[in-house]
Amino acid sequence: MKGQRIRIRFTMVKYKTYVYWNGKMVGEHLDGETPFEIDVTDHVRYKTDNELMVGVIDRISLQRPDLLPYVESDFSGSRKIRP
């Protein structure tokens, strides 16, 4: 993969998305209806694990705070990746 552009593609994430690669924020996106890509090429570590973390703020929590705590509104996750 060295020498190639490395992009993470999201087909749909509702609503506000924050993307972190190896602990550094590499992008954000606002809109749950369109796909988007984040280029992480300059942040990739080779021959070791990389960590992708995604944080999401769901629009439901912004429009209907009275639904909480019945609806989980903030989602996030991480994954180790080795190119």
pTM of the predicted protein model? 0.69
pLDDT in tens, 26-36: 999 988 778 89
pLDDT in tens, 51-62: 988 888 776 555
* pLDDT at residue number 31: 81
- CA distance to 44, 55, 64, per residue, from 81 (Å): 10, 17, 36
Q: Which residues contact 53 (CB under 8 A, 6 or more apart)?
A: 19, 20, 21, 23, 76, 77, 78
* pLDDT at residue number 33: 78
List, for the chain, all residue ranges whose pLDDT scores fall below the cut of 70.
Answer: 59-83
